[in-house]
Amino acid sequence: MTDLAGSLRPATPEDWPTFSRALFDVFAEEPPRSFVDAVPAHAELDRSLGLWEDDRVVATAGIYSRQLTVPGAVVACAGITWVTVSPTHRRQGVLTAIMRRQLTELHEQQREPVAALWASESSIYGRFGYAPATWRGNLSGSVARLRLRPGVDAGAGRVDLVGVERYRAAAVGLHDRVRRFVPGNLDRDDRWWDRALRDEPDQRHGATTRRYLLHTEPDGTVTGYAAYRVKAGWTDAGEPDGTVTVEEIRSTSTPAYAALWRFLLSLDLVRTVKAPLLPSDDPLRYLLADPRALHSRPVDALWVRLVDVDRALAARRYPAPIDLVLEVRDPFCPWNAGRWRLTGHPAGGHCARTDRDPDLVVDVEALGAAYLGGESLATLQAAGRVEEVSPGAVTLAATAFRWPLGPWCPDEF
């Protein structure tokens, strides 16, 4: 394992064509030419890892430097990405070496206190201390049944189809405002907006180019935006059977949100609406006359790992006061194992080593699942991931860790 870890090294710009093709080969995908021909602007090669065997890359990994919204705060987050191991090198400790290298360096360099990833397979990352902390709703429904409640206030503003330049100019600032209040949201600088708005023809899967909406108030203030595609379809009887896929929709007010949805639900020749990345508890359900018309099939989204338990827990806020000792179990990152006294309240938190008796015994995966405020520690106790030592400690901790807004991550990476 030591020799293997030592042979991992960052990729260079000269390595990129080989490195990137190896990455896509494992995912059985054809990479966009723009991705292979030049290093993408958002890529951070100094934070990449590759395992070379002669002139072949047999394993890859990378990190994006991101800012993650957590309950009441924003923290630096290591966005783990590009993780692949060639089929020829599976079950040889390669992935373990990559995960250990990444987490150890983050800890030793005192960089991001939290790491996060989107898991291609949900059975892989738990053994490295990651746990799903947000879920995407996979929302869908029939347009015929998705009608807004009578009396829903859609405001006095207007919804316009706009070009990508106008859309971007308005959406950047609006996104930066709203993402700071929703745990699980990530920052987007110019590089990440370039990535979000890229519209490669071979990635459309038969749908239209991406279309853009802005909601504007009578005074000219933009209070909402949406991005969507339409895929035409027809039944055997010649009836229209199109599908609109809503890729993103954000607003700063309920009327703006309602107005954007009213537009999306009235598109010609469309019979089905899909919004795969929206959360299962999206407020759309409560705008509808028939809540059952909106179907949800939740799937795990952002997986979270506390790199340094003390720094991570101190970085977020707690809506209810908490003063408990947590005995953390973390065999993969032993620097986290042991007892930590966590004190917190709505204005801040503090976490430090202690020799006091524990109130709770918890594994690091449970802490990752509960970190963004969406998963209850009481639920995790029922699953055997949390052990209550002091009576009432689970209730206190579950109350303090939850957050009024459910976590949600709309940015895949």
Please spell the DSSP secondary structure of 263-297, one letter per residue.
Answer: HHTT-TTEEEEEETTS-TT-THHHHBS-GGGSB--
Q: Does 143 carry a binding-site annotation?
A: no
| Residue 354 labelled as part of a binding site | no
> Tokens standing for 81?
């990405």
Q: Is residue 155 annotated as involved in ligand binding?
A: no
388 DSSP β-pair partners:
360
Q: Is beta strand 270-275 parallel, antiparallel or unpaired with respect to 242-251?
A: parallel
Q: Is 165 annotated as a binding residue?
A: no
234 alpha carbon, distance to own chain's centre = 34
The whole-angstrom separation of Cα 66 and Cα 116 is 10
CA distance 253 to 404: 17
Which residues are catalytically annotated? Answer: 125, 413
φ, ψ for residue 262, nearest 5 deg: -60, -40
Could you tell me if 313 and 349 are in contact, meaning their C-beta atoms sit under 8 angstroms apart? yes
* Residue 95 marked ligand-binding: yes
Give burial (CB, 10 Å; 0-12/13-18/19+) of 163.
exposed
Q: Is 84 annotated as a binding residue?
A: yes
The response to whether 91 counts as a known ligand-binding position is: yes
Q: Given the DSSP bridges, would you call strands 211-216 and 158-162 parallel, antiparallel or unpaired?
A: antiparallel
120 is annotated as contributing to ligand binding:
yes
Q: Tell me the C-alpha distance between 14 and 55, whole Å.
A: 12
Residues making up the annotated binding site for acetyl-CoA are 83-85, 91-96, 120-121
